Structure 1
């Protein structure tokens, strides 16, 4: 989930280091990791000395970084990692990596989703640093910033085959300003028949271990959190033809007064009563407010 400057109207529409002498490429390539098959461009070589970085997250929640390399043709850095599923059912993992400078300054992050890892299975993947012009920065290392994992049969599906439910439920970007947060839930009818909604998404709030939490009130509408267009409109029946979409929204504040602040990464969403659940990761930083507002489903535009 990315956080962007608040535009509320739009919502509903371990560090792996390069060693001090030379370069980590050799260590990565010794075990067969050289995705481009090239090893020689001297313009990609890192400086011979730099300030050591304090050791960070190389392994977290079943994900482990095993190598850092560079593509010789364009000097883009890549990290090899593996994901091991220690759960009793297939899980889908979304991992955020931070690429950092030799002094530890964040340069860029990259997110990658590894779908449907079977119980006990280990899979190997590579993530590439993007977003900065190659050859204009020096990468000192990479670490795991965040791991989110959901049961594979509850994972969101923004593309690919239509889920058995006939609808896709996905999460938009979080809009933020002055402690207020708003994020959109989007539902697309990808089936061949009409899909009917009437009311509000059904939500179950989950902690870091995907366990249900109590003590947070889920309110229909703005609930006094803020006045945002559409949140307090009454629910109306919505019929979606194939290809049509509907949206709802979540709203909260991250105000902290007395007590410990609450952070809930996961929300299990049922589009309506009896609908299969989908687990999304809005990263609810609720502070000590104990409140989450939800707007009714509204018909949107088809893609």
Structure 2
């Protein structure tokens, strides 16, 4: 399937597997997760033992470069390639042992929002839990930091113990003007648009798109959201048919209702389903982590990350906007 380049694209959203071999050094109280605008002068942590000890030059060494397949409660592979995260990737783990900090540099021409997913590992390499940090509004050319808390996982019984290491497993970035919003201040558009975590069974995938009217006026919808797919390098994915109705992929997905006009009052919401299969036969599998959603003609675009793994099927089903049950 042919992919055409996007004239102005963010760099590759790289799935890393660098395990940071760290030894805990006290209590870290600054949570790693958050979605507020990033400060270029943010300190590494508010904990006394970590303080502001992570400096731009204090890079820690990572090892491992292949895809990470660890799950909580299983030993995470260490990898063997060595080296640190590159400037092209834009995200590095810095700081002294036991005080990891995400350092994010925006090498693109536009303000970007980054979401980093990582494992907290025990000293034996067991993945205790996964966590996610969102750093919003990183301006072009700026470098910001966000502390990673090693205390979020608690302690597991047996040999697992407490987390002492961090392994980055996925990095996603979207233009801040198109970032999804589930909570926080109401966007200028007056609506929130975001994707849920979805459901997968026997190769069938269903992810919900959600729209909530957080503004002060009635919001009208009629029909299907408009979609554009992008790969990990933020290049448009072509050759995939976007079909109206979930029944084009499978029955009983809840995404096959007839489209009808909706008038959403403030506080009311609607949803539409994305349906696909990840069947792989002859040809090159297609993965599209990013989907740019336009709720209706003329609406502001929002880029969500449903992580489409379309296999070689070449098609994606999308349901019509339906009023949420709570809004009926």
The normalised TM-score by structure 2 is 0.74
Q: In 2 relative to 1, CA 216–135 (structure 1 residues): closer, same or farther, beyond 3 Å?
A: closer
Structure 1 residues not aligned, in runs of 5+: 1-13, 40-51, 71-77
> Contact 1:99/1:142 (CA < 8 Å) preserved in 2?
yes
Deviation at 1:129, TM superposition (A): 4.5
Deviation at 1:89, TM superposition (A): 0.9
Q: Following the alignment from structure 2 to structure 1, what is the Cα–Cα distance between the partners of residues 149 and 164?
A: 14
Equivalent in 187, 191, 196 of residue 172 of structure 1: 196
Structure 2 residues not aligned, in runs of 5+: 1-17, 29-42, 51-76
Deviation at 1:158, TM superposition (A): 1.6
Deviates more, 1:219-228 or 1:132-141: 132-141
Corresponding residue number in structure 1 for 2:85: 59
RMSD: 2.6
Equivalent in 37, 45, 51 of residue 48 of structure 2: 37
Task: Describe the SS at the equivalent of 1:59.
Answer: coil
Q: Following the alignment from structure 1 to structure 2, what is the Cα–Cα distance between the partners of residues 199 and 53?
A: 48
Task: Describe the SS at the equivalent of 1:153.
Answer: helix
Establish whether residue 254 from structure 1 lines up as the match of residue 278 from structure 2. yes
Residue by residue over 1:268-294, the C-alpha shift from the partner in whole angstroms, topping out at 9 and shown as x without a partner, is 000001101000000001111111110
Task: Describe the SS at the equivalent of 2:177.
Answer: helix
Q: Following the alignment from structure 1 to structure 2, what is the Cα–Cα distance between the partners of residues 202 and 132?
A: 39
Which of structures 1 and 2 has the bigger CA Rg? 1
Q: Following the alignment from structure 1 to structure 2, what is the Cα–Cα distance between the partners of residues 212 and 34?
A: 38
Corresponding residue number in structure 2 for 1:15: 19
Deviation at 1:102, TM superposition (A): 3.6
Q: Which has the higher strand share?
A: 1
Deviation at 1:213, TM superposition (A): 1.1
Q: Following the alignment from structure 1 to structure 2, what is the Cα–Cα distance between the partners of residues 241 and 69?
A: 52
Q: In 2 relative to 1, CA 142–132 (structure 1 residues): closer, same or farther, beyond 3 Å?
A: closer
Deviation at 1:68, TM superposition (A): 6.2
Q: In 2 relative to 1, CA 224–131 (structure 1 residues): closer, same or farther, beyond 3 Å?
A: farther
